[in-house]
Amino acid sequence: MTDTPRVLFVGGLGRSGSTLLELLLAQSADVCALGEVVHLWERALGADERCGCGERFTGCLFWQRVGEHAFGGWSAVDRIEMLALKRRVDRTRHIPRLAKSSLPPEQLADVRAYASHYTRIYRAALAVSGARIVVDSSKHASLAFALRWADGLVLRVLHLVRDSRAVAYSWGKQVRRPEVVDGEDFMPTFSPLAVSKLWTAQNAAFHLLAARAQVRRLRYEDFTADPTGTVRRLREFAGLPDDPAALRILTDPADARSASRDAVVSSPAWPARVHSIAGNPLRFNDGPLTVHRDEAWRTRLPRRSRAVVSLATLPFRLRYGYLGQRGSDSVQGSS
């Protein structure tokens, strides 16, 4: 069953709720969430950063087993060569090439070699975990385009979008990276104009991909309005059976605030930590898993920044229904 692995690839620009969504999906035994595998080569193999379970990469038994199963051990992977291959294949500027229906032999060999590393990791993760699908929340459209060239992979792509003004607000904040053990490091920050360009480029790329792969679009605002329905529909999209137990983890925010920690720890609904590579610091959260729409940008994004983002992202904002002051209040169904 794991010879042809199934992957749900979560794509879009960061700060769109992918870590929270991945954590929710991963609470079912048939889902193995891996975090952002695109960062494995540098942050895990290179810097030995912490896995979502809290252990360093080299101390995480899950990832060591995955390495054994996929490559006969991580020491067999030439990290420098893999990073060189990544630069040749997995860049946003290569997307027009990767979107073509055929490639010259040399480029095809590079793409297949690059994608095969991911396929081997997915297959190994399924074998080690016993799950039926893996979730890779790498998000970069260029990796999704590379994976469509993989041999023996069932690829489903979730295109996650969020109001560009909320995304711009989030990328302007300084956030410490808890996975860094030696010293202190922060997530990068971007200006409102830079975020606008990235947001537009990523979203345009996933619309292009939709003509070549199975892509489902989901708005963050619709996900947070109906997490239960979202998980149910995504499981169906990924080829998983309906499972009411998959949703037992969801906690009403009011319940979470009033519950004492001890009471919640003993509850079967306490969320399982996920062996994830990179992602939002939320993955180290020891509290109950709650879903609420973060709307801080409405009051805290400076007026000038808001104007810049609103104008620079207008075409896709209109397309997704992110309009005026009410922004994303006009909820649409995911498509």
Measured distance CA(288)–CA(251) in Å, rounded = 7
- Half-sphere exposure of residue 153, counting CA atoms within 13 Å on the CB side? 30
Rule CB under 5 A: is residue 166 a binding residue for Zn ion? no
User: Of the ranges 8-16, 62-70, 75-83, 193-201, which one interacts with Zn ion (CB under 5 A)?
Assistant: 62-70
Is 60 a binding residue for Zn ion by CB under 5 A? The answer is yes
Q: Least distance (Å) from Zn ion to the CB of residue 134?
A: 14
* Burial class of 244 by CB neighbour count within 10 A (0 to 12, 13 to 18, 19+): exposed
For every residue of 185-199, DSSP letters joined together read -B-----HHHHHHHH
Min CB(175)–Zn ion separation in Å = 21
Are β-strands 6-11 and 133-139 bridged in parallel, bridged antiparallel, or unpaired? parallel
Nearer to Zn ion, 53 or 155 (CB): 53
CB of 35 to Zn ion, least distance (A): 10
For Zn ion, the closer CB: 12 or 52: 52
Q: Which of 7, 8, 38, 53 binds Zn ion (CB under 5 A)?
A: 53
Window contacting Zn ion (CB under 5 A); options: 36-44, 54-62, 242-250, 316-324? 54-62
Cα separation of 110 and 105, whole Å?
9
Reading the block at residue 101, the tokens are 């229906």
Tell me 272's DSSP state. P
Nearer to Zn ion, 71 or 237 (CB): 71
Please write down the HEC assignment for all residues of 222-260. Answer: HHHHCHHHHHHHHHHHCCCCCCHHHHCCCECHHHHHHCC
Tell me which of 275, 289, 305, 308 binds Zn ion, using CB under 5 A.
275
The answer to whether residue 44 forms part of the interface with Zn ion (CB under 5 A) is no
Tell whether residue 51 is a contact of Zn ion (CB under 5 A). Answer: yes
| Rounded least distance, CB 45 to Zn ion, Å | 14
Closest separation in Å from C-beta 59 to Zn ion = 8
What residues line the site for Zn ion (CB under 5 A)? 51, 53, 60, 62, 275
